[in-house]
């Protein structure tokens, strides 16, 4: 695992990435069926459609990392904290539980995944305590996002994130429910897979930690 912290510079209200790593943004039965996943975003695809896509991905999934448990410290200043699997993959299945670092009365938080993480860029799937998910790419461009009505934001609560990444599409599940199909075709190179926290400005408290469990990576290459 790799522990990476990187500074973000803000110039004229715009985001300037100092590094491609860890920069902060402004504020035959399938694996899915075994977990009891159901359809959530029916406007994107039906549960059966997604099952038909996911089933062949599960058949070729090979575990190459984890399960790993750990803590990510909340750093001072404009940083993001990440821990990586030290793998090099284009297509992957990523599974992790995240534990909320504190309750809403103390502050806001976020956590999520770095996907295809390399010096050439990466995608970042971010779940925030404002009950929302967002996807950004390595050029600091917002790709997609929406509300999360079933996100657990309670103090001491946890959320289960699963992501299938295959070619230009990624299939996102939260707490055993299908959420959305994500477009990830702008960055198709191999890269690392990481868990992270503090992606968005103001979403950390210095000295606190975000705990993760069962961080597991499967190759779909």
Three-state secondary structure readout of the chain: CEEEEEEEEEECCEEEECCCCCCCECCCCCHHHHCCCEECCCCCCCHHHHHHHHHHHHHCCEEEEEEEEEEEECCCCCEEEEEECCCCECCEEEEEEEECCCCCCCCCCEEEEEEEEECCEEEEEEEECCCEEEEECCCCCEEEEEECCCCCCCCCCEEEEEEEEECCEEEEEECCEEEEEEECCCCCCCEEEEEEECCECCCCCCCCEEEEEEEEEEECC
Q: What is the Rg, in whole angstroms, of the alpha carbon atoms belonging to the chain?
A: 16
Q: What is the DSSP letter of 204?
A: -
Residue 88 contacts residue 183 (beta carbons within 8 Å): no
- Output the pLDDT for position 104: 87
Q: What is the value of pTM for the model shown?
A: 0.81
Per-residue pLDDT at 139: 56
The strand pairing partners of 109, in sequence order, are none
- Domains along the chain? 2-9+25-219 (2.60.120.560)
Q: Give the position of tokens 């305590």.
A: 129
Tokens of 11: 């110039």
DSSP secondary structure string, 117-129?
A: EETTEEEEEEEET
Residue reference for tokens 């400005």: 201
Paired tokens of 145? 């996002």
Query: Which of 201, 209, 167, 173 lies closest to 72 in space, CA to CA?
Result: 209
**pLDDT of the chain, 221 residues: tens digit per residue:** 443 333 332 223 222 222 333 444 444 334 444 444 433 444 445 777 888 999 999 999 999 999 999 999 997 767 789 999 999 999 999 999 999 999 989 999 999 999 999 998 999 999 999 999 999 997 578 999 999 999 999 999 999 999 999 999 999 999 999 999 999 999 999 999 999 999 988 899 988 999 999 999 999 98
């Amino acid at each position: 695992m790799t522990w990476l912290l990187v500074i973000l510079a803000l110039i004229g209200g715009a985001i300037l990435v100092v590094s491609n790593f860890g920069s902060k943004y402004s504020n035959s039965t399938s694996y899915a069926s075994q977990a009891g996943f159901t359809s959530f975003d029916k406007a994107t695809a039906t549960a059966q459609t997604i099952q038909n896509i996911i089933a062949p991905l599960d058949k070729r999934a090979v575990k190459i990392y984890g399960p790993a448990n750990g803590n990510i410290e909340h750093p001072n200043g404009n940083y993001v904290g990440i821990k990586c699997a030290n793998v090099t993959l284009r297509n992957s299945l990523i599974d992790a539980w995240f534990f909320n670092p504190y309750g809403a009365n103390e502050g806001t938080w976020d956590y999520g995944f770095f996907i295809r993480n390399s010096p050439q860029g990466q995608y970042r799937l971010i779940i925030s305590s404002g009950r929302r998910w967002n996807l950004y790419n390595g050029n600091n461009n917002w790709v997609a996002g929406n509300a999360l009505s079933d996100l657990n934001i309670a103090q001491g609560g946890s959320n289960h994130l699963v992501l299938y990444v295959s070619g230009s599409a990624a299939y996102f599940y939260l707490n055993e429910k299908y959420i959305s199909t994500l477009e990830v075709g702008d960055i198709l190179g191999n890269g690392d897979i990481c868990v992270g926290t503090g992606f968005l400005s103001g979403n950390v408290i210095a000295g606190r930690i975000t705990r993760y469990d069962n961080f597991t990576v499967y190759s779909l290459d």
